[in-house]
A = this chain, B = another copy of it.
């Protein structure tokens, strides 16, 4: 840096990274510090437009400390997970030169330079949709660009993994596999892309966001308690998951929705089974989650083959995969019937994301929602309505991996001051 040290430059990069949803579940670590899992997992990456994190990272000789703002509020970076990611990234940093701005940073300068980081989720945090996955993926991806890392996405995924396990899968679009690895140092525990988002592009995703007053056990703590107390988790990790990984890779490769749905639902259910087998038991699903799943199971059963797959993580929300657009429309008709909004909710706050599907459902305003008839497979005793139990719906699809945002207007930090 030398002569440039006196200059007041700020260098910055903005990136956007998607969140993802596992279809073969990650639950349980073999190493708490390095975040090494007890089994492989597979996920689907969500469209950046609807469920993603935008992060601006910046560096300047004027910064006195590493600082972090999440959704506009400052947070401490002193936590182990942040420290571990930052240390790993700094150790891989390369030389950076910007002649126009007169900036020259060498590999070893990064140890002494401080970072400002600002991050923003484009979906409500209350939705409980793994914002830590997109968050850490975006942080690592943006810093890798800023610091001119030469490492490939696999290595970046292994760094993101140390922030939040599932973050490693958000370094890729489409369908992603996270290898548990065998090495003690975690060097072989990283993610790879199985297929990109175009490989299976008729899949649609619907997420009924469930209202909940309950405070759930964090997944970090929950999975530690499961490993310590469940007498089923190791059998699941060693005997059940490896077979399902092979079958799921095959299902994705062949766009075989029946197998995909069977495995996805079985995995979700077994994950929650292990949660229940924990002491004290982890209740992540609530009555609304149960009702959504029962609605899907009944419909799948009445059709004779799976139309929709469901999966649910460490919270009450259920993520639904519809085989195609037609099925997604029929699914929404069912869900809108059973879970109408509170009065005075407008359509725009009831359905978020890709709302073009509403045309296929035949919904133009809230009156159309109220006028829906019960699904034909519904027996009288279960044609019940649970008003307000779903706060809103998010409609999305599989999407691509992290991208750089070159438009400075999208940056979350001021290019002069490096502050939000």
Which A residues form the contact surface with B (CB < 8 A)?
213, 215, 231-232, 235-236, 239-240, 262, 265-266, 269-270, 272-281, 283, 286-287, 290, 293-294, 297, 301, 381-382, 384
Contacts and interface: CB of A to CB of B under 8 A. Distances in A.
Contacts of A301: 280
29 contacts: A213-B384, A231-B236, A231-B239, A231-B270, A232-B232, A232-B236, A232-B240, A235-B235, A235-B239, A269-B276, A269-B277, A269-B278, A269-B279, A269-B281, A270-B276, A270-B277, A272-B276, A272-B281, A273-B276, A273-B277, A276-B276, A280-B293, A280-B294, A280-B297, A280-B301, A281-B297, A283-B290, A286-B287, A286-B290
Contacts of A294: 280, 283
A163 B93 CA distance: 72
Nearest to A296: B280
A215 B279 CA distance: 28
Going nearest first, the 3 A-B pairs with the smallest beta carbon separation are A273-B273, A273-B277, A280-B297
Contacts of A231: 236, 239-240, 266, 270
A47 B239 CA distance: 43
Given A231-B236, A269-B278, A280-B293, 19 more contacts: A213-B384, A231-B239, A231-B266, A232-B235, A232-B270, A232-B273, A265-B279, A269-B281, A272-B276, A273-B275, A273-B276, A273-B277, A276-B276, A280-B297, A281-B293, A283-B290, A283-B293, A286-B290, A287-B287
